Chains A and B, each alone.
Chain A
């Protein structure tokens, strides 16, 4: 904003341009430190069709209305051949003198400045005794016409004058836009090109001016779609009803659509079209071309903001002037000028700073949260627990919010917590729901059991862009029970809880639970046996609510018999068993023994020898589970493919190659430990590699009579979706 530059070096005073908000405040407070005066401004545009300047033009400027300033724009001031190449000062001097001599009292005026682009001339006169100061005056031109050798010729374009009168910055632009009915888009583009006009330095663009007066031969015509013939238009244009044609004016329509002169104002002309006349008459063009009349010559203005006051007093064409095929157009304006009282401005500066602070702080993003603390209570393994909070934009600006990782953390929240959405742009007064979900998966469970944590707390940082941060506190309680614990923990749990459970049913189940096998595993396997291996449908979908019911039964020991759970299926038990094994903090095959096991994957004897080296709990578990699987596979050939999943669980590894791990499982399931050991002692060092037909059928008698399952169906691998 350049309109009130203060003198340099005044200490503590107001210097604009330091802070946009302060500038805005000072601007809105102008009336507190400015005095105003009104001047009259007369603007006129005239396409002179290459005519030589007469000594003066009578009636151009009425003698009974003497303006403080006259600004005149001419077009086609010089059409002579070669003008585009060689400048001719003579015509310019003559025309400026003609204009001066046309002023009400020529001697009372001085020329402020003029600028010419070939035939496009702008000149400004000031009433000498007018009591305002012009402290800066600059002018420039911009050419938009035909481009020759990369340089635009000056046959079309604009010339402008920028003046600072008192403390108001005013700009006048005279232009000649592309001609011809079909050149609408070219005219629009010419306008846009001319708006790039600058004065002096590059940042002094036209838009910084308090007022812009823009005039010239804009060359806009009536649209071809007007519902009249050319003759009808000429007839209407001749009458007092001419103004009714204005609705078909290209500029009027384009401006309304915002395509051109968008922020400019213009009073709809009450005068007749100003083009094209037979020279020397007020008759419409009678040449062969018989041009349709149009308002080519116009005067528009633009105010920077509400502090600029412009009143248009008149807008007319001068039909009596007949030297050209255009008529001159003339407008009178009352323009308010400001004068800054610098002392007052400096005194207001401190207040303006405070006001700017207030506005800046007020514009900081503000939101309200329905809660900043969420307690999820007791949460269970793999049971999603969801809460929502409502966030409302209560501020005066759009809010971009996002959850960001707390300091020294990479994730925005703990592993057991999920938040959506993590980014959002809130409009003023808009509300959104943010959902937070606690899920204890095996990874979280391991992390929590490792750190012996039961009370969970996480602080999320929600950042408002360019503003404050909000913290969101999430708490939950999680007690490791059956899932996500160590084998030791599972076994230990059995021992401590044995005394707490009422006997009867329990005693019986526990009776046949082998030593070293957690009761929960045994309960699952027992229930599977009770339902029967043939009822196990591997194509079933994993049902999470059923999983929840089985998990609860395992955790609470009620009901002891898992088959009594409502809706329970063999598959739901089977997948729970896999999930449980997968959730254990340690793999059944210890990490350190993996290599050895894979090495012996086809040799059951050596494999079992390796297993025998594991800790007793693992050995018991592996024996127990392979026994179960042996039963299953012997009754259900198609279940062999299931061993792939078991290989993943046993080794806690899914990376390639997977074949050796699967082979391990085949070996362990196909040959029971004692059988393998027996063969070993009988010097059978190697067992057949492909035991499918010749393998030793060693199995425990199944608890339920064997049924032949529907072995024809293909069995998908009950896989990753179970974990």
Chain B
């Protein structure tokens, strides 16, 4: 990685959460590489990817942490939530169990992030219409009830993937603009204009958080 200061308008930290096999890593890959990974192995750990996007003429660097979905890692992966500006909560529209677990994921997301973290609900695998197990309307109602933004996406075809990531950024940016997100507060997951070193890894103290909080 080349040395020297990077200068974006902002850096946003995202986390992707949800049951095993719902396609979290594929969504990340589709978003950063515009490609579908057919044989994506289970994530045993926490993946990391970046992409620069533009919101209202501002260049924003997204740092995306893609967490392992297996239940047994839950205790460990919880620590990566801290300091996330956006949380993408993913279920698989063809597997109802992954949808049923959403409330548990949502509880974690609400408890472990700050109140301004934008939580975005994604129903993945929308291309598999024939195997659909969760109706759009039902998930939409769930999202409305809990104040989440919702989209069905396909990491395979790429449908709506951009929108989910970008819409989340727009909401975060809006929160900054209207002042509801206090950039001086701890763990906002937003790093405003300043010299930034590339991030160090995740759990206890990712570099980007330290720098904006200290």
Instruction: Indicate if the CB atoms of A470 and B44 lie closer than 8 Å.
Output: yes
A12 to B48, CA, bound (A): 27
A457 to B75, CA, bound (A): 13
Q: Which residues of B contact A405 (CB under 8 A)?
A: 204
Query: How many whole Å from B172's CB to the nearest CB in chain A?
Result: 19
Q: Which residues of A contact B179 (CB under 8 A)?
A: none
Complex interface: stretch among B91-99, B133-141, B195-203? B195-203
A504 to B78, CA, bound (A): 58
Q: Which residues of B contact A12 (CB under 8 A)?
A: 54, 57
A22 to B48, CA, bound (A): 20
In B175-193, which residues have CB < 8 Å from any A CB? none
Instruction: Indicate if the CB atoms of B45 and A21 lie closer than 8 Å.
Output: no
Instruction: Indicate if the CB atoms of A466 and B199 lie closer than 8 Å.
Output: yes
Chain A interface SS verdict (over half): mixed
B128 within 8 A of partner (CB): no
The answer to whether A470 and B8 touch (CB under 8 A), given A21-B2, A357-B32, A459-B72, is no
A463 within 8 A of partner (CB): yes
A353 to B8, CA, bound (A): 12
In B1-59, which residues have CB < 8 Å from any A CB? 1-4, 6-8, 32-34, 44-52, 54, 57, 59
**How many residues of B are in contact with the other chain, CB < 8 A?**
36
A11 to B58, CA, bound (A): 9
In B51-97, which residues have CB < 8 Å from any A CB? 51-52, 54, 57, 59, 68, 72-73, 75-76, 78-79
A334 within 8 A of partner (CB): no
Instruction: Indicate if the CB atoms of A19 and B52 lie closer than 8 Å.
Output: yes
In A365-420, which residues have CB < 8 Å from any B CB? 372-373, 397, 404-408
Q: Which of A18, A459, A473 contacts B8 (CB 8 A)?
A: A18
Instruction: Indicate if the CB atoms of B78 and A468 lie closer than 8 Å.
Output: no
A224 to B201, CA, bound (A): 57
Instruction: Indicate if the CB atoms of B33 and A361 lie closer than 8 Å.
Output: yes
Q: Which residues of A contact B7 (CB under 8 A)?
A: 17-19
The answer to whether A471 and B45 touch (CB under 8 A), given A19-B6, A19-B7, A20-B2, is yes
Query: How many whole Å from A513's CB to the nearest CB in chain B?
Result: 45
Instruction: Indicate if the CB atoms of B76 and A407 lie closer than 8 Å.
Output: yes
Query: How many whole Å from A246's CB to the nearest CB in chain B?
Result: 38
Instruction: Indicate if the CB atoms of B45 and A470 lie closer than 8 Å.
Output: yes
Q: Which residues of B contact A20 (CB under 8 A)?
A: 2-4, 6
Instruction: Indicate if the CB atoms of A467 and B48 lie closer than 8 Å.
Output: yes
Query: How many whole Å from B165's CB to the nearest CB in chain A?
Result: 12
Q: Which of A17, A361, A459, A468 contacts B201 (CB 8 A)?
A: A468
A658 within 8 A of partner (CB): no
Instruction: Indicate if the CB atoms of A357 and B1 lie closer than 8 Å.
Output: no
**Closest residue on chain A to residue B204 by CB atoms:** A407
**Closest residue on chain B to residue A358 by CB atoms:** B33
The answer to whether A469 and B203 touch (CB under 8 A), given A11-B57, A18-B59, A406-B76, is yes
Instruction: Indicate if the CB atoms of B44 and A406 lie closer than 8 Å.
Output: no
Can you list 21 pairs linking A and B with CB atoms under 8 Å apart? Answer: A18-B7, A20-B6, A22-B52, A24-B2, A354-B34, A361-B32, A364-B49, A397-B1, A404-B203, A407-B79, A407-B204, A408-B79, A459-B76, A461-B76, A461-B203, A463-B201, A465-B201, A468-B45, A468-B47, A468-B48, A473-B72
**Closest residue on chain B to residue A459 by CB atoms:** B76
Query: How many whole Å from A233's CB to the nearest CB in chain B?
Result: 47
Query: How many whole Å from A42's CB to the nearest CB in chain B?
Result: 36
A467 to B65, CA, bound (A): 10
**Closest residue on chain B to residue A364 by CB atoms:** B48
Q: Which residues of B contact A457 (CB under 8 A)?
A: 72
A465 to B199, CA, bound (A): 9
Instruction: Indicate if the CB atoms of A469 and B46 lie closer than 8 Å.
Output: yes
Most chain A CB atoms below 10 A, which of B45, B48, B204 = B45
Q: Which of A17, A360, A361, A372 contacts B44 (CB 8 A)?
A: A372
The answer to whether A19 and B3 touch (CB under 8 A), given A469-B202, A471-B76, is no
A473 to B54, CA, bound (A): 39
Query: How many whole Å from B209's CB to the nearest CB in chain A?
Result: 14
**Closest residue on chain A to residue B202 by CB atoms:** A469
Q: Which residues of B contact A463 (CB under 8 A)?
A: 201-202
Instruction: Indicate if the CB atoms of A357 and B51 lie closer than 8 Å.
Output: yes
Residues of B within 8 A of A (CB): 1-4, 6-8, 32-34, 44-52, 54, 57, 59, 68, 72-73, 75-76, 78-79, 198-204
Instruction: Indicate if the CB atoms of A356 and B4 lie closer than 8 Å.
Output: no
Instruction: Indicate if the CB atoms of B199 and A468 lie closer than 8 Å.
Output: no
In A220-243, which residues have CB < 8 Å from any B CB? none
A406 to B199, CA, bound (A): 18
Q: Which of A361, A397, A473 contacts B50 (CB 8 A)?
A: A361
Query: How many whole Å from B46's CB to the nearest CB in chain A?
Result: 4
A363 within 8 A of partner (CB): yes
Query: How many whole Å from B178's CB to the nearest CB in chain A?
Result: 22
- 6 tightest CB-CB pairs across the interface, nearest first? A407-B79, A470-B45, A20-B2, A463-B201, A469-B46, A468-B48
A323 within 8 A of partner (CB): no
A663 to B208, CA, bound (A): 61
Instruction: Indicate if the CB atoms of A407 and B78 lie closer than 8 Å.
Output: yes
Query: How many whole Å from B192's CB to the nearest CB in chain A?
Result: 15
A22 to B79, CA, bound (A): 32
Q: Which residues of A contact B33 (CB under 8 A)?
A: 358, 361
Query: How many whole Å from B70's CB to the nearest CB in chain A?
Result: 9
Q: Which residues of B contact A573 (CB under 8 A)?
A: none
A11 to B199, CA, bound (A): 28
A354 to B50, CA, bound (A): 10
Q: Which residues of A contact B1 (CB under 8 A)?
A: 21, 360, 363, 397, 466
Q: Which residues of A contact B200 (CB under 8 A)?
A: 465-466
Q: Which residues of A contact B46 (CB under 8 A)?
A: 468-469
A464 within 8 A of partner (CB): yes
Query: How many whole Å from A451's CB to the nearest CB in chain B?
Result: 16
Q: Which residues of A contact B198 (CB under 8 A)?
A: 466
Query: How many whole Å from A469's CB to the nearest CB in chain B?
Result: 4
Q: Which residues of B contact A462 (CB under 8 A)?
A: 45
Q: Which residues of B contact A471 (CB under 8 A)?
A: 44-45, 68, 73, 76
Q: Which residues of A contact B75 (CB under 8 A)?
A: 406-407, 459
Query: How many whole Å from A565's CB to the nearest CB in chain B?
Result: 41
Q: Which residues of B contact A407 (CB under 8 A)?
A: 75-76, 78-79, 203-204
Instruction: Indicate if the CB atoms of A357 and B50 lie closer than 8 Å.
Output: yes
**Closest residue on chain A to residue B82 by CB atoms:** A407
A258 to B78, CA, bound (A): 53
Q: Which residues of B contact A372 (CB under 8 A)?
A: 44-45
In A333-358, which residues have CB < 8 Å from any B CB? 353-354, 356-358
The answer to whether A406 and B57 touch (CB under 8 A), given A360-B1, A459-B73, A471-B45, is no
Query: How many whole Å from A105's CB to the nearest CB in chain B?
Result: 46
0/1 string, A441-460, CB within 8 A of B gives 1: 00000000000000001010
Q: Which of A11, A356, A373, A466 contacts B52 (CB 8 A)?
A: A356
A624 to B10, CA, bound (A): 75
Q: Which residues of A contact B50 (CB under 8 A)?
A: 357, 360-361
Query: How many whole Å from A413's CB to the nearest CB in chain B?
Result: 12
The answer to whether A473 and B44 touch (CB under 8 A), given A12-B57, A363-B1, is yes
A468 to B3, CA, bound (A): 19
Query: How many whole Å from B200's CB to the nearest CB in chain A?
Result: 6
Query: How many whole Å from A348's CB to the nearest CB in chain B?
Result: 14
With A404-B201, A459-B72, A468-B47 known, 18 other A-B pairs at CB within 8 A are A11-B57, A18-B8, A19-B52, A21-B2, A24-B2, A357-B50, A361-B49, A361-B50, A363-B1, A406-B203, A407-B76, A407-B79, A459-B76, A466-B200, A469-B201, A469-B203, A471-B73, A473-B44
